[in-house]
Structure 1
Amino acid sequence: MIEKTATPRRSDASRMRILEAARTLFARQGYGRTTIREIAEAADINPSLVIRYYGSKAALFANVATLRFEAEATLNLPRDKLGEGLVRHVMGRWEHPQQGPALAAMMRAAISSETAQSRINEMFAQQLQALFQSLGLSDQSPATGPLIATQLLGLGLARYVLKLPAVVELPTETVVAQIGRVVQSYIDAQ
């Protein structure tokens, strides 16, 4: 019997071009200022194909707005180092050449669009829940996760989205130590 290999469909290449164009434009311009027409133009396809493949701008955003903490490295940390470990890890995600701009786009979109905010809230909640379960923190106070989220999201907003000079200029180790101490206090409060 001859084994058949799947041949890529032309639509697969079009879908990939759409996703890449959307990812780039959402990161550069934000959700609100990016249009289906601009995405189609950047992908060199007809705008009707964007709608055909993804249904709407919101659905397309949901496909490109992905949040992955990938915090497996923090699993091996002693409990008393989790605060600093989480902050260091999150800063690494923000400073990653692909993840950083995507996170900034997601944060900007969440500020300006209820549709994007809903998607990002859902992803962030799932990721935090999975992360806290992995770290053995899921049985703690219901306030622990949300309080940690305020620190991590606030850091991301101030340092990487708004790029407040006083925050950007802080050495990484200072940020890790100071915010890590606050995050650790939430972990230790249990």
Structure 2
Amino acid sequence: MDGTETRTEAPGPAEEPARRSDSTRAAILRAARDSFAAEGYERATIRLIAREAGIDPAMVMRYYGNKAGLFAASVELDLHLPEASYLPREHAGAVLVRHFLSLWEGDESLKAMLRVGATNPAGAERMRSIFRDQLGPLAEALSPDPEEARTRAGLVASQVLGMALCRYVLELPPVAALSTEEVVRWLAPTVQGYLAGEVPPPPPGSE
């Protein structure tokens, strides 16, 4: 030993509040994920989540504004999209529509996220990031021109999200009454064109 000492400096005054803030946010998000998973979006409450996190409900509101904002921050959604290498290119539209129907019907969190995304800016951004990050690479792999991938992914999202909104949130009678195979029959050709078709020519009279 050379007699020197290793000293660990105490956190500065600005670091302690930041650490407490990070710890509080982490506790809130953990409690929110557990509550939303156990109770569903409608039954989970800010008060319940705050109690599980061991904090005052006002702290939840301070960090996330309201339940919709908290849900958007806490939800972790995986679309479980098929790998492009295993997706038959000529039938990609049908496979993808059938996949999304199965996904919407089996995941209440996804339906709740759709409702939140339609009314809450944080929810809307969360939905954009989910579809951008997960659907974008698939569209890029299937597109005849990778530079068009973002546009194609956005158009596919417009179809599957529009169908989900009408079928599962608004429960529009003609759409909600369709069988899975009927939805696939109507929607798949459009999604197929968006994913792998050629860019359509300009409509007559547009030039």
Q: TM-score, normalised by structure 2?
A: 0.67
- Residue 33 of structure 2 corresponds to which residue in structure 1? 19
What is the distance in 2 between the residues matched to 1:136 and 1:68?
A: 20
User: Does residue 154 of the first structure (1) align with residue 162 of the second (2)?
Assistant: yes
Once the 2 structures are TM-superposed, how far is the Cα of residue 180 of structure 1 from its aligned partner? 0.5
Post-superposition shift, 1:26?
Answer: 6.2
**Contact 1:87/1:176 (CA < 8 Å) preserved in 2?**
yes
Residue 146 of structure 1 deviates from its aligned partner by 1.4
Q: How does 1:25-64 map to 2 (within 5 A)?
A: 27-28=41-42, 36-41=46-51, 43=52, 45-47=54-56, 51=60, 55-57=63-65, 60-64=70-74
Q: CA RMSD of the aligned region, Å?
A: 3.2
| Structure 2, gaps ≥5 residues long | 1-25, 200-207
**2: CA distance, partners of 1:61 / 1:14:** 11
Give 1:106-117 correspondences, 5 Å limit: 106-117=113-124
2:96 is matched with 86
Q: Contact 2:29 / 2:74 at 8 angstroms: preserved in 1?
A: no
Q: Is the 8 A contact 2:41 2:109 kept in 1?
A: yes
Change (3 A) 1:20 1:182: same
Indicate how the Cα distance of structure 1 residues 179 and 44 shifts in structure 2: closer, same or farther if over 3 A, else same: same
* Aligned AA (1:146): G
* Percent of matched pairs sharing the same residue: 30
Determine if contact 1:81/1:184 at 8 Å carries over to the other structure: yes
Q: Distance in 1 between matches of 2:75 and 2:198?
A: 33
If asked which structure has higher relative contact order (CA below 8 Å, sep 6+), I would say: 1
Deviations 1:61-89 (A, max 9, x none): 24432231211266423211000011011
- Unmatched 5+ stretches in structure 1: 1-11
Distance in 1 (CA, whole Å) between partners of 2:97 and 2:198 is 18
Aligned residues: 169
Q: How many Å separate the matches in 2 of 1:171 and 1:22?
A: 29
Matched residue, 1:126 = 133
